[in-house]
Structure formats: structure tokens, C-alpha cells
Chains A and B, each alone.
Chain A
Amino acid sequence: VSLKNILAVALGIFSAIGGFVDIGDLVFNTQAGATFGFQLLWVVVVGVLGIIVYSEMCGRVSAVSERPVFDLVRERTGFGAGLATLIASEIVNLMTCAAEIGGVAICLQLLSGLPYRVLIPLAVVGLVVSSWVLPFRWIERLFGYLGLCLLVFAVAAIKLHADWGRVAHGFVPGSHVGGSTAVYLYFVVGLIGAAMTPYEVYFYSSGAVEDHWGPKDLGLNKVTAIIGYGLGGFLSFALMIVAAVLFLPNGITPEFLGSPALAAEHAIGQVGLLLALVGILFAVGGAAVETSFAGAYNLAQFFGWNWGKKERPARAPRFTLSWLAIFALAMLVVITGYDPVKLTEYSVIFSVVALPLTYLPILLVANDHSYMGAHVNGKLANFLGVLYFVVIIVIAVAAIPLLLVTHGGQG
């Protein structure tokens, strides 16, 4: 395992850190653990496997055809459906980016004690400068690897003396104890949906093109998808376990971004708290970068503009303006005092539209010999791809009714 190899999987780690442990997931995973203990761990496995299957597929498509996901969405679904997917995904990206910027400001507030509203523009300036100045690979590395400070939650799980027998039992799907069935299903759907958020594959497939992947990198693509998203899933397990051990017995339902950090603090002390906050800061900041870039990638690929961080801004002006505009709009949204929680709740509605129309073209093209040649989907990839597409459809249908019936998981 060389340093070069470790750095090479940065795209997967960055995509996964931003996708799995963003502002919403951090609280949602701990809420899942605080409500149902270890009983939902199996759901994370289902979600992780799904995103690995589709990320590997879209990475392979990008490496072989040099065409990222949104390029294919328009071609395969036609202009009308493609435009609907574009609008839905752009709204999701903008709202999620706004929520993440709010999360960065909250994190900085917990670290520094400075006022939240002052920290919002500072957070945006920091994110824009790092996105502008750093090459794509260093953006991946900075946010991806510093986001790994979240591994402190795995240490916290050990220090809190979780009952590992019961933890292992949580990986077996079964009937649940405690809470209503509707709330349990709400968490099941939410955890799988969160794992398969569309912006992860938009970013991952475009990142593969940015990183100049070709057919020779198909092995790296597999390893990157497995290690990156595997790590994201591991962090989700850790968050759920510490919540099950510490919050559930005390009747705590974590409501704030600062709440998960309390678990690291309680188990490890000040170092644990600081590592947790720094990890959250970079994970949430990474998600903000990921969503702003995903939004710009989608626009550029849909309208056929020149795109890519690898390009000089003057050579891809509309792409560059797009990601800057998404940051600016997101800042305006969050600086008005609009609640990031509400933002993310509304984004569900648009995610539901975007989910099937994002994943279907990937599956179709990965099966197309004219694009993929010898690298077309094998039997296993097809079986898993179709299976997970059915899962995606079920999620898309069930998400909003469950959100309404359970009052956002309240029962």
C-alpha cells in the first residue's frame, strides 16, 4: 500500500464523506441510533452496497466513454425528462449546499464562539477560495482526508463499551423493538435514500473525468468505490452505535449538529470533541463543495458547455460561474436565517424526482455494448443494478408518504 495508492482513492473517500456524513446524515444517523439502538445497522449495509454498485457502474462508464452521468441522462431520457431531472437536482443541490454552509458556520461557532451570522460569509469565502485555488485532486484530499477525523466516533464506540453481540445482531434484518413501525420504516427509507443521494454519483462520475480515468483505471474505480463508500458506511455505523449506547438510555434525541460531538467528548474528552468538530467541519464543508460542483457539472453537461475544474476558468467560464453562483445563492438562502432543517426536508421532494431518472440512464448505458464494449455490465452487476433500481423506485414512492405520516420521524 503506497502513498500514491492511498491518495488515488481520494475521490471515493471525498464523495463518500460528503455523501454519507453530511449535515443531515450526521444528525439522522445519531437519531436512528438514539431511537432504535443497533436495530438499523443492516440498513446502512444495504445503502452502502447500493451506492457502491452504482458508483462503480458510473465510474466505469465515465472511464470508458469519458461521459459523466448527466450527459447520459439527457441522451437517454430525452430533453423533457432530462430537464425535469436537471431542475429537481439543481434545487436539491442548492438547498443541500445552503444547509451545508449553515453547518460549516455552526461548526465554526462551536469551535470559536463567534456569532453564527458572521461566520456564514466567512465559511463561504473559505470554501470558494479553497475550491478556486486548489487543484481538483487536492480538494478531494483536503476535505476527504480531514473528514476522516470522524473516525473518532469509532474510537468512541469502543470506549463506550458497546455490547458487540447486540451490535452484530443489528446487522441482521428483522422485526424491530420499540418505536412505531411507520417510524422504523421512515428511518429505513431515509437511511437508504441518504446513502444513494444523486449528487454523489454526479460528482463521482464527473470527478472520474476530472481525474482523467481511462479503461486502465477500472481496477482503481472498483477499489475507490468500495473503500470510499465502505468508509462512509463505517462512519455511519460508528455514529449509530455511539448514539445507541449513550443517547438511547438517557432519552436523548439528538437535534443539533453539535450533539454527535457530545458523544465523542463524553467518551474521549477534549481531544475527542475537537477531532469530532474538525471532522464534521470538513465533512460538511466537503459536502458544500460537492453539491456546488455537482450543480455546475449538471448544468454544463446538460447544455453542452465546456466544463471541469481541470480547465482554466476562462476556458470554462459558464461552468465556473455556475459553481460560484450556487455558492452565492446558497449563502443568500442561509443568511436570511432560513432553517437548514426545513431546507433539507423540502429537498427530499426534489430528490424523489431525481433519484430514478439519475440511476436508470447509468444502468442502461452500462449495458450498452456500443458505449462500453468489453466493459459492459456482467451478470452480477446487472442483477445488483436491477435489484437496487427496484429499491430506488420503492424509496421514491414511499419517502414522502412516510415523511408526512410520521411527521418527520416523530410518529
Chain B
Amino acid sequence: MVSMTMNPSARRRSVLRLATICALVGTACAGNAQLGAKALLQGSDSLRSAAAEGALLAEDAVSGKTTSNYVHEHAVELSESASQVEATLRAGSTDPSLETERGQLVVLARRISDDLQRLSEASTVEQRTLTGELQAAADASRRIGEGLA
């Protein structure tokens, strides 16, 4: 049961991301092959989480609290997570009334994934910039999610 829960891997997606992706894909495959508001909301939550975690990581990197290996590896897995949400959102369609939000989330997902990828190799100066950018992206995800709730 340890398992109801869990873990990692690159292969490492957690239940959250898997469930989000399953929900997105499932919703897209079902009925009219459309992503509903709930699926979009889950996508925005995942993006907010990845961006906020990335912002925290970048902040710690600027403060010299971390190691370069950890920043690199963790930023890459967060970036992959955002990329997968993007791919799923891109592949699905949605009700016209939700199309704006879907489009915004796709753009945001790309931006978050790119920022996290940059963070994995960033200099201290760039890490400082990325802290702000990722936090802004997390806030934007939250606002979109609030609109969908």
C-alpha cells in the first residue's frame, strides 16, 4: 500500500502527474474527445506545482544552498513533467468556451518547460532571473486554474 502513493522516476512520474495525464487523456478519448474544465484545471495545477518547485529550486541555487548535480537533475525532471502536460493539452481539443484557457495553458506549459530546462544549466545570474520567471508562471497557472474552478 506503500504504493497507493508514490514515487519517482524518469521515467519518474508521480501519481499526480500520471493521474493528471490519465485524466487529460481519458477525458480527451472519451465522448467528444474533448478536455473538460476539470482536466484543464488538473493541468493548470500540475503546471503551477512544477513552476513553483522550480522557482524554489532556483532560489536555493542563487543562495548557494544546493549542489549543481541536484539542480540539473531535478530541473530536468520537472521540465519533462511540464512537457508532458503540454503534449497532452496540445493533443486534446476542448469546448470552444474553454479554448482560450487551453491555449493559454499550452503556451504556459512550453514556457515553464523551457525555463526549467534553462535552469538545469544556468549561471547564477540566470538562476536569479529564472526564479522570478518561474514564480510568475506559477502565479499565472494559479490564475487560470481559479478561472476554471
Q: Which residues of A contact B (CB under 8 A)?
A: 19, 22-28, 31, 95-96, 99, 102-103, 106, 109-113, 116, 186, 189-190, 193-194, 196-197, 246, 250-259, 261-262, 265-266, 269-270, 272-274, 277, 337-348, 351-352, 355, 395, 399, 403, 407-410
Chain B residues contacting A261 (CB-CB under 8 Å) are: 70
Name the residue of chain B whose CB is nearest to the CB of A107: B8
Distance, CA A269 to CA B62, complexed state (A): 11
For chain B residues 13-37, which have a beta carbon within 8 Å of chain A?
Answer: 13-20, 22-23
Are B52 and A252 closer than 8 Å at their CB atoms?
yes
B residues lining the A interface (CB < 8 Å): 1-20, 22-23, 42, 45-46, 48-49, 52-53, 55-57, 59-60, 63-70, 72-74, 77-78, 81, 138, 142
**Contact indicator A256/B12 (Cβ below 8 Å):** yes
B-chain residues with CB within 8 Å of residue A252 when the two chains form the complex: 49, 52-53, 56
26 A–B contact pairs at CB < 8 A? A24-B5, A27-B14, A28-B5, A96-B2, A99-B3, A99-B7, A102-B9, A102-B11, A103-B8, A116-B10, A190-B5, A246-B56, A265-B65, A273-B66, A273-B67, A340-B7, A340-B8, A341-B12, A341-B13, A344-B3, A351-B1, A352-B1, A395-B1, A408-B16, A409-B19, A410-B19
Interface of A is mostly: helix
Q: How many A-B residue pairs have CB under 8 A?
A: 221
Bound Cα distance from A8 to B4, whole angstroms = 32
For B16, the chain A residues whose CB sits under 8 A away are: 31, 253, 255, 408-410
Instruction: Specify which chain B residues have a CB less than 8 angstroms from the CB of A116 in the assembled complex.
Output: 9-11
Sorted nearest first, the 10 A-B pairs with minimum C-beta distance are A28-B5, A193-B1, A344-B3, A255-B14, A257-B8, A113-B69, A24-B2, A24-B6, A190-B4, A410-B19
Q: Is the CB of A339 within 8 A of B17?
A: no
For the complex, what is the distance from the CA of A224 to the CA of B55, rounded to whole Å? 42
Q: Which residues of A contact B73 (CB under 8 A)?
A: 109-110, 113, 258
Minimum CB distance partner of B8 in chain A: A257
A99 to chain B, nearest CB (A): 6
Interface of B is mostly: helix
CA distance A343 to B11 in the complex (A): 12
* One of A19, A250, A258 near B77 (C-beta < 8 A): A258
- Is B74 a contact partner of A110 (Cβ separation < 8 A)? yes
Check if B6 sits within 8 Å of A28, measured CB to CB.
yes
Assess whether A347 is in contact with B3, with CB atoms less than 8 Å apart: yes
Q: How far is the CA of A341 from the CA of B8 in the complex (A)?
A: 6
- Residues on B with C-beta less than 8 A from A189 are 1, 4
A197 touches B11 (CB 8 A): no
A344 to chain B, nearest CB (A): 3
Q: Which of A24, A25, A186 has the most CB of B within 10 A?
A: A24
Query: Which residues of A lie under 8 Å from residue B8 when comparing CB positions?
Result: 23, 27, 102-103, 106, 256-258, 340-341
List chain A residues, Cβ under 8 A from B7. Answer: 23-24, 26-27, 99, 102-103, 257, 340-341, 344
A257–B9 alpha-carbon span in the complex (Å): 8
How many angstroms between the C-alpha atoms of A273 and B19 in the bound complex? 28
Partner of B9, one of A262, A277, A339: A339
* B138 A345 Cβ-Cβ under 8 A: no
Taking the nearest CB of chain A, how far is it from the CB of B132, in angstroms? 15
In angstroms, how far is the closest chain B Cβ from the Cβ of A27? 5
Q: Please, how many angstroms separate the alpha-carbon atoms of A408 and B6 in the complex?
A: 10
Nearest CB on A from B136, distance (A): 13
Chain B residues in 8 Å Cβ range of A351: 1-3
